[in-house]
Structure 1
Amino acid sequence: MSPRVRSRPVGAPVPAALVLAVLLAVLLAGCTSSEGPPPPDAPTTSPSASTPTDPSPSTTAPREPSPAPARPAAVRIALAGDVHFEGPLAGRLADPATALAPVARVLSSADLAVVNLETSVGSGGRPAPGKRFTFSAGPAAFTALAAAGVDVATMANNHAVDFGRARLPSTLRAARAAAGADPPLAVIGVGRTADEAYRPALTDVDGTVVATVTASVADQDPTADPTGQWAATDRRAGTADAMDPARLLATVRRAAREADAVVAYLHWGVQGERCPSPDQRSLARRLVDAGADVVAGTHAHELQGDGRLGEAYVAYGLGNFAWYSPGPTGVLTLTVRPARERSGRATVTRARWWPGAIGADGLPRAVTGAAAADFRSDVAALRACAGLG
């Protein structure tokens, strides 16, 4: 797993010509010395380098204590919900650089921004038969997310394969291109095999490594994926499916050993519900016990409660974000301070919502005044509903 490095260079390299000149000067000095090698019985160090011979107290300077290892710096992680480019949003991909302009500032101001891309991406294939809603976008969707400040997009959801398995090769090619673009975007939750689909995104923020793990654990309705046919396997491309969460939990445990902080971003819950289901609550606890420092998710298309769960922070539902249906939305930004040792737990020291609303054009915009106050009241009520601190 190759981390995406955002740290800055710490210094300029030393010119090669300067290094060569110094080495040449040292060699010439050795060749022109008038002193021959020391006699066989003579010491090979000068008296000044040996222990002082006078009876005065030792003049050796006390050894400086080794500096303590640097503590990884705190990072700001922005979490937002479901994104697609349907309806009024479709035409915005004609100019990906400005497609999500109203939220670019809030997303790009964080060290790491994560969203759920709820659509198939690429070309070819056909709409999945019998499915009520099928979403599609070209590779410009990845460009639009990156331009808006998104660093990681998960596609572990029930719309990533809306146009069938025949489209997946183009999806994966576009994802690889996005990872190498400027700015880059890490696309997770979909892959040629289950190992690839489960592979976390590792983001290095000035030496602090954050692992983002994803999977879909939502109950699939009969029109979405009735047999789990879109799940990646050891021999088949698809999405990271965790109806059996064993692999997901193992991925989180491994990520906790390799990173300073772990974010588990899931596709889960019951559509239309504003309180988390018993299954969500149970899995959240298991993910925290496995080492996740932040647990978040989407699928309900509604905001659900957020708050502290033991040593971690949970946001059960981030709702819609850029969507063809107007309604409330927001960006949850968490300040996360890693432990000094990788074996320790990171701590969320601050949680702050950017309150917003999705307009008729599908774009999220900030709300102020009474609307912002209503948003905060709603968040407080949802936290109580979720049973979080």
Structure 2
Amino acid sequence: MDTYIPRRLGVATAIALSCVLVSACSTTAESSAQGSTPDVVEKPTASGEPAPTPTPERRPYTISFGGDVHFEGVLRSRLDANPRTALGPIAKVLSRSDLAMVNLETAITTGGTKAPGKQYTFRAPASALTALKAAGVDVASMANNHGMDYMESGLADSLAAIRRSKFPIVGVGRNEAEAYKPWRTTVNGNRVAVIGATQVLDSEFIQAWTAAGDKGGLASAKNEARLIQEVRRARKNSDTVIVHLHWGTELQKCPNEAQRGLAPKLVAAGADVVVGGHAHILLGGGYLKNGYVNYGMGNFVFYNSGPETGRTGVLTLTINGRKVLKDQWTPATIQGGVPVPLTGANRQQAVTGWKALRGCTGLAAKPGQGDPEQNG
């Protein structure tokens, strides 16, 4: 996907203005060729300094979010067969947006030591990053309860794979600063910062998996002060600040107390968008004051999904600066591990159902509204 590259305005316009009279144009051209000072120069500011280069005008852009992605079971077969088609037909939806993001819920390693006592552990080869890139995904978060399923050696492999691929991953790093560091890009003149963190970690792994000081690991939203500090820092030199969180309670349809407590703090600190997942099912989304929050994106590319956990889709936001102008839901169902977009009456019914999920969130359908203390 294309990112915006600012165009620098030339100063040749001044010469063009003098070309109203042919003789004047000829004189100017001769003077310029001889190295003389042109008749028209950049006007100084009141301080005597040249005027700064104009800031590129911002235009609306779109960013699409998908839910939890891993490559277990049948999905590993798809990945091994052809990484470039591993995500199936949903790739067309992701590729239509200026930016796209998912939660990568796996360690990137073929070795490592499995987390002791953990029932479900996920890992995938480095070709998983190729698959995401080929599907139109621009950035992913590994801050989740499976990002270090293969412990420190798996983390080292993951970080090495990320460096080799040059695929942007947030929420994980060789140290605390790197784990909390936002990914930055510019699109349509908008400076975008994306931060990843997890509010969900198995209690026995919190200390071992959390990045702290010089120790590598995951960015933890359990340390609210640290996350809020990073949001405030990003706010200072960004037009849009996005926080991607792993949060919620598995199979619980409404946001839990921890989610509803953290979301308004992040918005108050300067986050414009807060999106996440973990529950394996869809939760509601909408506006919280002037920020936009989605409490649960559900499964996305996932090997084990039933009727409820197989409901998924792509959330596309249209944004200009700090303003989320529009949200759009493209519903899908997971078939053979990959999301297949719905069509016709099934699509419309699914969109209506998705909007209804907002009812227990305290979020609003329009900006400037929404109260986390209310149930909608």
- TM-score, normalised to structure 1's length? 0.79
Partner secondary structure for residue 332 of structure 1: strand
Q: Name the CA distance, whole Å, in 1 between partners of 2:164 and 2:61.
A: 27
- Do 2:56 and 2:189's aligned partners in 1 also have CA atoms closer than 8 Å? no
Q: Name the CA distance, whole Å, in 2 between partners of 1:91 and 1:383.
A: 36
Q: How does 1:68-87 map to 2 (within 5 A)?
A: 70-87=56-73
For structure 1, which segment, 142-151 or 241-250, has the greater mean C-alpha deviation from structure 2 after superposition? 241-250
Q: Call closer, same or farther: CA 1:374–1:228 in 2, change over 3 Å.
A: farther
Question: Which ranges of 4 or more aligned residues in structure 1 deviate by more than 2 Å?
Answer: 7-13, 22-25, 66-71, 225-228
The equivalent position to 2:353 in structure 1, one of 367, 375, 378, is 378
Pairing 1:216–2:198 present: yes
What do residues 120-155 of structure 1 show as CA deviations (whole Å, max 9, x unaligned)? Answer: 102321211100000010100111001100001100
> How far is the alpha carbon of 1:385 from its aligned partner?
1.4
> How far is the alpha carbon of 1:207 from its aligned partner?
2.5
Q: Give the letter aligned to residue 380 of structure 1.
A: K
Q: Give the letter aligned to residue 331 of structure 1.
A: V
Q: Name the CA distance, whole Å, in 1 between partners of 2:325 and 2:255.
A: 24
Partner secondary structure for residue 258 of structure 1: coil
Task: Name the counterpart of 1:123.
Answer: 110
> How far is the alpha carbon of 1:5 from its aligned partner?
7.6
Task: Name the counterpart of 1:353.
Answer: 329
When the two chains are superposed, the root-mean-square deviation of aligned CA atoms in Å is: 2.7
> How far is the alpha carbon of 1:368 from its aligned partner?
1.8
Task: Name the counterpart of 2:282.
Answer: 303
Task: Name the counterpart of 2:317.
Answer: 334
- TM-score, normalised to structure 2's length? 0.82
Pairing 1:291–2:270 present: yes
Q: Give the letter aligned to residue 115 of structure 2.
A: A
Q: Name the CA distance, whole Å, in 2 between partners of 1:142 and 1:157.
A: 17
> How far is the alpha carbon of 1:206 from its aligned partner?
3.4
- Do 1:156 and 1:267's aligned partners in 2 also have CA atoms closer than 8 Å? yes
- What percentage of aligned pairs have identical amino acids? 45
> How far is the alpha carbon of 1:335 from its aligned partner?
0.3
Q: Call closer, same or farther: CA 1:283–1:72 in 2, change over 3 Å.
A: same
Count of residue pairs the alignment pairs up: 329
What do residues 129-186 of structure 1 show as CA deviations (whole Å, max 9, x unaligned)? Answer: 100000010100111001100001100011011111112222111111222xxxxx31
Task: Name the counterpart of 1:167.
Answer: 154
Q: Name the CA distance, whole Å, in 1 between partners of 2:91 and 2:238.
A: 27
- Do 1:307 and 1:313's aligned partners in 2 also have CA atoms closer than 8 Å? yes
> How far is the alpha carbon of 1:98 from its aligned partner?
1.1
Structure 1: gaps (5+ residues): 14-21, 31-44, 50-65, 180-184, 339-345
Q: Give the letter aligned to residue 206 of structure 1.
A: N
For structure 1, which segment, 283-292 or 164-173, has the greater mean C-alpha deviation from structure 2 after superposition? 164-173
What do residues 73-125 of structure 1 show as CA deviations (whole Å, max 9, x unaligned)? Answer: 11101011100000110012221111113111111111111100000102321
Task: Name the counterpart of 2:373.
Answer: none
> How far is the alpha carbon of 1:381 from its aligned partner?
2.1
- Do 1:120 and 1:162's aligned partners in 2 also have CA atoms closer than 8 Å? yes
Q: Name the CA distance, whole Å, in 1 between partners of 2:33 and 2:185.
A: 44
Task: Name the counterpart of 1:105.
Answer: 92
What do residues 46-67 of structure 1 show as CA deviations (whole Å, max 9, x unaligned)? Answer: xx99xxxxxxxxxxxxxxxx99
Task: Name the counterpart of 1:257.
Answer: 236
Structure possessing the higher radius of gyration over alpha carbons: 1
Q: How does 1:90-239 map to 2 (within 5 A)?
A: 90-94=76-80, 95-179=82-166, 185-218=167-200, 220-221=201-202, 225-239=204-218
Q: Name the CA distance, whole Å, in 2 between partners of 1:5 and 1:256.
A: 23
Q: Give the letter aligned to residue 212 of structure 1.
A: V
> How far is the alpha carbon of 1:209 from its aligned partner?
1.2
Task: Name the counterpart of 1:278.
Answer: 257
> How far is the alpha carbon of 1:194 from its aligned partner?
0.8
Q: Name the CA distance, whole Å, in 2 between partners of 1:167 and 1:277.
A: 31
Partner secondary structure for residue 229 of structure 1: helix
The equivalent position to 2:3 in structure 1, one of 6, 10, 13, is 6
Q: Call closer, same or farther: CA 1:320–1:350 in 2, change over 3 Å.
A: same
Partner secondary structure for residue 331 of structure 2: strand
Q: Name the CA distance, whole Å, in 2 between partners of 1:331 and 1:371.
A: 15
- Do 1:5 and 1:204's aligned partners in 2 also have CA atoms closer than 8 Å? no
Q: Give the letter aligned to residue 6 of structure 1.
A: T
Task: Name the counterpart of 2:20.
Answer: none
- Do 2:145 and 2:202's aligned partners in 1 also have CA atoms closer than 8 Å? no
- Do 2:267 and 2:291's aligned partners in 1 also have CA atoms closer than 8 Å? yes
- Do 2:174 and 2:215's aligned partners in 1 also have CA atoms closer than 8 Å? yes
Q: Name the CA distance, whole Å, in 2 between partners of 1:337 and 1:12.
A: 23
> How far is the alpha carbon of 1:375 from its aligned partner?
1.3
Partner secondary structure for residue 159 of structure 1: coil
